[in-house]
Amino acid sequence: MITSSQNPKIKLARALSGRAKERREAGGFVAEGVRLLEEALETGWPFRFALYADGLSERGMALLDRLVERKIVVEKVESRLLDSLGDTETSQGILAVLDHAQIPTPQSPDFVLIPDQIRDPGNLGTLLRTAAAAAVDAVFIPPETADPFAPKVVRAGMGAHFRLPVRALDWEEIRAQVGGLTVWLAEAEGARPCWEADLRPPLALIVGGEAEGGSEHARALKTSSISIPMPGKMESLNAAAAGAVLMFEVARQRHSGQV
């Protein structure tokens, strides 16, 4: 059992739970909780090791058995140490350090999400989860958006990271990747209503931060603007909610074949 905070595995997990720089340099990130690790295992994501403490649920114990069967290093840790590593108020009793693997981006993606200046980890994670559910081909993360592999983003993504290509790119790289796509920028007002826009052709959707909207780089890249009609008395939607409406409007049009 690991009992020291100076243990190398504890120190690595703590570092990866902190700054994005540490995650980039180590090429890894932390995922916490039974469900997330089940998703990672199911998709064949590369594990470095898993840590667990007393009090693990029956489902968690079954997960441990599967990890051991896959020859993944599993170590028991004092509860106080595991609690200090986790990002939740109530620990689920298990976390893992995973490699920052790359899911290949399709050669010709026809549905791309660009979350621009989304700084809230919960919003970004929810956007990634929605993107995976709406069959988005890839997500390109521009500068000034939260680190997609921060613990809170990974937790809110609920396994989307293991099923969806997520790339941190600069704007010139994004421009090269979306060449040939119609680039729609979500706007709060003064744009074409999403119910009237033809979203069936290949496209990239830029969803900007709730406070500032799309950045100058996003506006330079856009082909057209799109908005969500709101008959109620609110000026705007949360960025994650707006992104969900628009992504599933794309999915609806493509599934039905109708605008």
Q: What pTM, to 2 d.p., does this model score?
A: 0.94
CATH fold of 8-99 reads: 60s Ribosomal Protein L30; Chain: A; (3.30.1330)
The Cα diameter of the chain in Å comes to 60
Q: How confident is the model at residue 71 (pLDDT cuts 50, 70, 90)?
A: very high
Query: Each residue of 197-241: pLDDT tens digit?
Result: 999 999 999 999 866 778 999 999 999 999 999 888 777 789 999
**Which distant-in-sequence residues (6+ apart) come within 8 Å of 68 by Cβ?**
74
pLDDT at residue number 228? 92
> Which DSSP string corresponds to the chain?
-B--TTSHHHHHHHHHTS-HHHHHHHTEEEEESHHHHHHHHHTTPPEEEEEE-TT--HHHHHHHHHHHHTT--EEEB-HHHHHHH-SSSS--SEEEEEE---PPPPSS-SEEEEEES---HHHHHHHHHHHHHTT-SEEEE-TTS--TTSHHHHHHHTTGGGTS-EEE--HHHHHHHTTTSEEEEE-SSSSEETTTS---SSEEEEEEBTTTBS-HHHHHH-SEEEE----SS-S---HHHHHHHHHHHHHHHHHHT--
Q: Give domain 111-256's CATH number out of 3.40.1280.10, 3.90.1310.10, 3.40.630.30, 3.30.70.2170.
A: 3.40.1280.10
Two structure tokens written together for 193? 């209503």
pLDDT, mean over the chain: 93
Domain boundaries, the chain: 8-99, 111-256
Q: How confident is the model at residue 257 (pLDDT cuts 50, 70, 90)?
A: confident
Report the alpha-carbon distance of residue 10 to residue 56 in Å, rounded.
19
Q: How confident is the model at residue 85 (pLDDT cuts 50, 70, 90)?
A: confident
